[in-house]
A and B are shown apart, each in its own frame.
Chain A
Amino acid sequence: METILKTEQINKFFYDPVEFQVLKQIEFEVKKGEFLSMIGKSGSGKSTLLYILSTMDTDYTGKLFIDSQLTTGLTKDQLAEIRNEKIGFVFQFHYLLAEFSCLENVMIPAIKLGKLSEQEIEARAYEKLKMLGLQDQALKPASKLSGGQQQRVAIARALINDPLIIMGDEPTGNLDSKNTDIVFDIFQELTRSYGQTIIAVTHDDEFAHKSDRIIEMKDGEILR
Chain B
Amino acid sequence: MSSDINTRIAKKYIFSNKKLTTVAVMGVLLGMSVYIFMNSLLVGFDRSSNTSIFRSTSHIRVYKDDEISQVLVNDPKDHYIIVNPKVVPNNNTIINPDKIQSIILAQKDVVVVTPQVNSNVFYNNGKSQISGLSVGIKPDEANLMYDIKSFMVEGNFDLLKSKPNGIVIGSGISEKMNLSVNDNINLTSSKGINRTFKIVGIFKTNNSVTDKSKSYINIAASQQLLKQGNSYITDINVNIKNPEKAEEIAKKISDLTGYKAEGWKQANETLMATNKMRKMIITFVSLTILLVAGFGIYNILNMTVSQKINDIAILKAMGFKGKDVIRIFVTQAVTIGLMGVIAGVIMATILITLLKRVYLGGDIGYFPVDYEPTKFVQGVVIGLIITFFAGYIPAKKAAKIDPVDIFRK
Contact = CB atoms under 8 A, between A and B. Distances in A.
Interface of A: 47, 51, 54, 56-57, 76-77, 80-85, 89, 91, 93, 95-100, 108-109, 111-114, 157, 169
A95 B404 contact: no
B12 A95 contact: no
Interface stretch (B121-129, B238-246, B311-319, B363-371): B311-319
Contact of B403 (A56, A81, A100, A109): A56
Contacts of B311: 95, 97-98
B13 interface: yes
Contacts of A83: 317-319
26 contacts: A47-B408, A51-B408, A56-B316, A57-B404, A80-B320, A82-B319, A83-B319, A84-B318, A84-B319, A89-B318, A91-B407, A93-B310, A95-B311, A95-B314, A97-B314, A97-B315, A98-B311, A100-B12, A108-B9, A109-B318, A109-B319, A111-B1, A112-B319, A112-B320, A113-B319, A114-B2
Given A47-B408, A91-B407, A100-B12, A108 B321 contact: no
Contact of A51 (B5, B13, B16, B404): B404
Interface in B153-176: none
A108 B317 contact: no
B13 A56 contact: no
Contacts of B320: 80, 84, 112
Contacts of A77: 321-323
Query: What 10 A-B pairs are tightest by C-beta distance, nearest first?
Result: A84-B319, A114-B1, A95-B314, A99-B16, A111-B5, A83-B319, A99-B12, A80-B321, A109-B318, A77-B321
B13 A99 contact: yes
Contacts of A51: 404, 407-408
B407 A108 contact: no
A125 to B, nearest CB: 13
A80 B16 contact: no
Q: Which of B313, B319, B323 has the most CB of A within 10 A?
A: B319
Interface in B1-21: 1-2, 4-5, 9, 12-13, 16
Nearest to A95: B314
A81 B317 CA distance: 10
A80 B408 contact: no
Contacts of B321: 76-77, 80-81
Nearest to B13: A99
